[in-house]
Amino acid sequence: MATQEQVLGTWILVAFYTAVVLFFVIRGALKTKSLSDYALGTVNFSPYFVGLSLAAAMTSAATFVINPGLIAKFGISGVLSFGIFFPLASVISLAVLTKSFRKYGQSVSAVSLASWIGNRFGNMTYAFFIAFLSVLLLTFIVLILVALVKVFSNALNVNEITTLAAVVLFVFGYMMFGGANSMVYTNTIQAFIMILVAVILISSGLFNFKGGISDFFARLSAIDPNLVKPTNPGSPLFRDYFEIVFAQIVIGVAVVCQPHIITKSLLLKKESDVNKFLISAIAIQLLFFSVVVSGLYARMEFPDLTVNGKVLGNDDIIPTYVIKIFSNGIAATLVGLLVILGLISAGMSTLEGLIQSLSSSINNDIVKPLVGSKMGFTDKQYLMVNRLIIGIMAIVVFFMARQQLLYPKLSVAILAQNGVYAYFAIIFIPILLGVFFKNIPAWIPFIASVLAALTHFSVYYLLPYLHRNYSVDLGWFNTYLQGDVRNPAIAASTSIMMAFLATTVALIYNKTISPKFSK
């Protein structure tokens, strides 16, 4: 439980944070006159600021709160997965895809990822299909909300459901107005705070190494020998190298294809800014990804993962660790408050990006072709529709997050990964085709998307059902079909590989296998 000093300090922080955010929202809203302004902005942003904004948006509360909790539970195998293989694959993918995507994004006047795909392949029905499936990203919003609620409720000693309602009302309320014009500024501020907090969290447990690395590992092993092994057979996520290495590399490469990430480069006004943008984004992202080691510190602090006899849920571990480790003295309390602000910033930065990109896509790629173009909506009317969409999203995610808070199953990460991984598995191959090939008929990426969707949900839901009830035997793959909690990375990486193989066959059939890189 937080001390009275921590509670008072957190309330002051919340008031200050609210005031700063509202300042930039009002400033951004005054410059937002159309849906395009909301989605892409009108301001000529510094490439370094956009890079920081991307790093903040790409490195969410999952990295600062949820994933370290899983590492506290399962050990070094999680560090390898979430702290090494996934980050390296994602930053390399970001560097490779950004430049070409940006060129095509400008040439086809895209305001969303779905519109980029539709314009790139000349098929608006395909854009509608992708925009419809983008609702899967609501699961990621739920993850961030749960993480924020855990931080607030632990720091303020308040009820989780009440906290959830307040967070949803505040964030979704101000996102109805600011859009990209305010988001880059708020994301940049959040990124600077997150940089400080990342350094604090990474160094918060360095005292555990006073006896050397071998002593640290020995004490972890005394808690549970599986914590220091590169694979953890008792984990549903890090059982072998297929899960830890292969699946995470595939996921890391594809994760860049989320709309709030890959479309960030469209905020740049000049081609010469791209390298500056990438350098700042990648350097800060690698720092943020390193925060997952705090999960090992938390396990040293809570060897049996309990506090005062109460078992810690996975998503409570890091908020509880922060409250405990930074509670001794005024200086420690102040540092702890900064860390709390950083954890809040980590959630808010990605949450803003998801709300902005998802509402823009639904508006531009679903509402506009179905209703808006026929009724002749004005720019002002589209902005009003966008606010209505955000309001509906708020209601949906509130009840989804409430379910996760009241009835958790290991971690909200499982729900979020299942939805988000499915989404970028569906769009990964189409983006590769759109960036690196010319003259691709729409049916090829469309088949890849449909096959990826069917494969992902079949591997996650259908195959376990058949294995459990009809003894369907898939050999070594049976391991990933067992238990109530299954690894979404297995389903997503399998679906991406199936889509890749199908696309290769389709390209050969269409006689366009030779890549023609965009100029």
Residue-level pLDDT at 29 = 64
Residue-level pLDDT at 395 = 97
Question: What rounded mean pLDDT belongs to the chain?
Answer: 86
Among 175-189, 317-331, 347-361, 390-404, which range has the highest average pLDDT?
Answer: 390-404
Token digits of residue 97: 């895809």
Q: What is the pLDDT of residues 432-472, one digit of tens each?
A: 898 888 888 999 999 999 999 999 999 999 999 999 999 99
Residue-level pLDDT at 165 = 96
Residue-level pLDDT at 361 = 84
Q: What is the pLDDT of residues 239-295, one digit of tens each?
A: 999 999 999 999 999 888 766 677 677 777 777 888 888 999 899 999 999 999 999
Average pLDDT over residues 209-216: 93
Q: Is the pLDDT of residue 26 over 80?
A: no
Cβ-count burial of 230 within 10 angstroms (0-12 exposed, 13-18 middle, 19+ buried)?
Answer: middle
Kind of pairing, strands 306-307 and 310-311?
A: antiparallel
Q: Is the pLDDT of residue 182 over 70?
A: no
CB of 222 closer than 8 Å to CB of 472: no
Residue-level pLDDT at 184 = 62
Nearest in space to 265 (alpha carbons), one of 475, 435, 423: 435
* Stronger pLDDT, 510 or 25, i.e. the higher one: 510
Residue-level pLDDT at 512 = 53
Q: Is the pLDDT of residue 355 over 60?
A: yes
Spatial distance between the Cα atoms of 250 and 244, rounded to a whole number of angstroms: 11
Computed on alpha carbons and rounded to an integer, the radius of gyration of the chain in Å comes to 22
Q: What is the pLDDT of residues 367-425, one digit of tens each?
A: 888 887 678 777 778 888 889 999 999 999 999 999 999 998 888 999 999 999 999 89
Average pLDDT over residues 128-145: 93
Residue-level pLDDT at 42 = 53
Domain locations in the chain?
Answer: 4-31+45-372
Token digits of residue 346: 């980590």
Average pLDDT over residues 207-215: 93
Q: Is the pLDDT of residue 498 over 60?
A: yes
Q: Is the pLDDT of residue 210 over 80?
A: yes
Residue-level pLDDT at 24 = 74
Q: What is the pLDDT of residues 32-89, one digit of tens each?
A: 665 555 555 555 667 888 888 788 777 777 889 999 999 999 999 999 999 999 999 9
Q: Is the pLDDT of residue 158 over 60?
A: yes
Query: Could you give the percent of the chain with pLDDT greater than 90?
Result: 49
Q: Which CATH superfamily, name and number, covers 4-31+45-372? A: Sodium/glucose cotransporter (1.20.1730.10)
Average pLDDT over residues 13-42: 70
Per-residue confidence band for 517, with pLDDT thresholds at 50, 70 and 90: very low
What is the pTM for the complete model shown?
0.88
Dmax of the chain from CA atoms?
71
Q: Is the pLDDT of residue 106 over 70?
A: no
Token digits of residue 188: 């940049």
Cβ-count burial of 491 within 10 angstroms (0-12 exposed, 13-18 middle, 19+ buried)?
Answer: buried
CB of 421 closer than 8 Å to CB of 250: no
Residue-level pLDDT at 344 = 85
Q: Is the pLDDT of residue 111 over 90?
A: no
